[in-house]
Structure 1
Amino acid sequence: MKDKSLGRGLSSLIPQHQQKDEPSDASKDQGGQTSEQPASSGQEGVGEFQYVEVTTIEPNPYQPRKTFDESALADLASSIAEKGVLQPLVLHKNTDGTGFVLIAGERRWRAAKQAGLYHVPALIQEALADADQARLALIENLQREDLDPIERARGVADLQERFQFTQQQIAEHLHLSRSRVANTLRLLSLPSSAQTALAEGKITEGHAKIIAGLPDVEAQERLLHIILKQTLNVRDTESLVKTAPESYQRPVNERVKHIAGELSERLESKVEVRARKDRYVVTLNMSSEEDLQALAERLNS
């Protein structure tokens, strides 16, 4: 049976918590500031609210984000130093029970450490098995809006590989269409230069989709170079590929050319075959509606 909590995200974790007492002044003096008391989330779920020492928290191994903007992190640390952590982290206990692993809130945790906090507010989740904790952690991170497209694609691939999820299951958990999941995974087929350009915002997912449809790395790299040099938008890029298809298609081998010639003779019409990345496109050229009707009659006879 599908675990519905995974589709609900953090709402399945954050409770109408019963807050434990804020750490005493003595505990604050052991290593820095603590956080202000956060507001209740107002959401129901399973978990326990408490203040946790920042040094007992481990980063989430399923975090799709591999890099953090140091400038933005410094700004957040400055805000936390002034106001505290206003939204609790979500944690679960590690396997030996000596510390905690992040499910959500890694930026707040990193910034809190930079700000010199000793304790941070957290919701401790213990009800799920390890595999479900991992799935939930990854799903929650993928639902974030500030992941770049490549981070998101790697996270989706991780979800698929670690837990043998189908694209349809991933789509249901992330509230996306299956085609969107497929297109997201397709980004990982791009050459590294295109992945970097996409992650850095130099091209869009629309550009990336066009590049990914080209037959080989050489053609993909060539188109990427033109997009960046001429600052083409997606529509211009589509037009370029359509008006100069010979520059972005796979060469047709002699055997395919021979087959195209035989088809032309049998159908009494010019047949063109173009090789795309993963398929052949066959085009019949007809000079009139009558020729098209005659071809249909020959095919039906």
Structure 2
Amino acid sequence: MKKNPLGKGLESLIPKAESTRTIINEIDIADIKPNPEQPRKVFDEEALSELTDSIRRNGVIQPLVLAAGEEEGEYIIIAGERRWRAAGLAGLRRVPAVVRVLTHETEKLELALIENIQREDLGPLELARAYKNLMDTHDYRQEDVADVVGKSRSAVANTIRLLGLPEKVIMALEEGLISEGHARALIGLDEKKAVEILFKIIDNSLSVRDVEKLVSKKEREQIMHKEEDENIFVMSLKAEMEEFFRTKIEIKPGKKGGTINIRYSSDDDLDRIIKTIRGE
């Protein structure tokens, strides 16, 4: 399992009010940039307006957590993007911040993800995309993500499954027309059936329990058995390929087909893998 470089998590990077050893700097707002891997993409305008009013009256109480950017004198937000946005709207030119040295790009995403989870700021789809980003971009397994965010592997897996829903269902969830519970009840259904039930939810204000009744017990059992069979097959195939190629293999099933990624650590390793494929 990938070792968590964060140690005790976000609390170890955000200064406590009574700390006397942490140096808090005043940083120009113009020199601060949002974290491109910030999992939170949508900021509630009403909540942001309230925070702006509070900062206008009281200033920024909790310092931002920043990391050095690519350009000299530039900083990337690790924690506190809402405060940064609100401070700008309040007319502040500088904000209090703690600058941390992060040795891995992955830490920026981990910290941003943990901060939002602890504050319960992320929507279900934002959370799912953040998990998937850690897995796709930073070579994490579901177990690694679960370890970082302090959740069970099954909770992480169930959240990621939301991304496999039909586009119309995803849009309805993003727009708040249905709840996460509604969306979960539709996971695994074929697109036609899922969209059909989606319209019934919206038109008739159905509860999650109502939706679960619409999705028959037999359908739910078929979905579960199918996923279990597919997971067993994929895991077995993955183990067989890793033994054959002597490297890490990543199999990503999709709605139509999928992808197989073969990892290599150096040019020599790549040459070895190619020779293995050729049977040399």
TM-score by length of 1: 0.68
In structure 2, distance between residues paired with 1:145 and 1:2: 25
1:115 aligns with 2:62: no
1:96 to 53, 68, 71: 71
TM-score by length of 2: 0.73
How far off its partner does 1:49 sit?
A: 1.4
Report the CA distance shift for 1:49/1:70 in structure 2 as closer, same or farther (over 3 A): same
How far off its partner does 1:275 sit?
A: 6.3
Residue in structure 2 matched with residue 222 of structure 1 by the alignment: 196
Residue in structure 2 matched with residue 263 of structure 1 by the alignment: none
1:279 aligns with 2:254: no
Report the CA distance shift for 1:2/1:190 in structure 2 as closer, same or farther (over 3 A): closer
In structure 2, distance between residues paired with 1:123 and 1:202: 39
Runs of 4+ more than 6 Å apart: none
1:154 aligns with 2:129: yes
Question: One-letter code of the match for 2:145?
Answer: I
| Native 8 Å contact 1:63 1:141 kept in 2 | no
Counterpart secondary structure, 2:169:
helix
| Native 8 Å contact 1:52 1:119 kept in 2 | yes
How far off its partner does 1:82 sit?
A: 0.8
* Alignment of structure 1 residues 283-298 onto 2, 5 Å: none
Figure out how many residues of one structure are paired with residues of the other and give that number: 228
Moved more, 137-146 or 85-94: 137-146
Report the CA distance shift for 1:127/1:121 in structure 2 as closer, same or farther (over 3 A): same
How far off its partner does 1:125 sit?
A: 0.4
* Alignment of structure 1 residues 26-41 onto 2, 5 Å: 40=17
Question: One-letter code of the match for 2:124?
Answer: P
* Alignment of structure 1 residues 126-205 onto 2, 5 Å: 126-205=101-180
How far off its partner does 1:202 sit?
A: 2.8
Report the CA distance shift for 1:127/1:218 in structure 2 as closer, same or farther (over 3 A): closer
Residue in structure 1 matched with residue 267 of structure 2 by the alignment: none
Report the CA distance shift for 1:3/1:53 in structure 2 as closer, same or farther (over 3 A): farther
1:67 aligns with 2:42: yes
Counterpart secondary structure, 1:111:
helix
* Alignment of structure 1 residues 45-64 onto 2, 5 Å: 48-64=23-39
In structure 1, distance between residues paired with 2:162 and 2:7: 24
Larger radius of gyration: 1
Report the CA distance shift for 1:160/1:140 in structure 2 as closer, same or farther (over 3 A): farther
Report the CA distance shift for 1:4/1:154 in structure 2 as closer, same or farther (over 3 A): closer
1:61-113 deviation digits (Å, cap 9, x = unpaired) = 11112122222212211111111011111001112332100001001100100
Residue in structure 1 matched with residue 14 of structure 2 by the alignment: 14
For structure 2, which runs of at least 5 residues remain unmatched after alignment? 229-280
How far off its partner does 1:144 sit?
A: 3.3
In structure 1, distance between residues paired with 2:213 and 2:102: 54
Identity %: 44
Question: One-letter code of the match for 2:8?
Answer: R
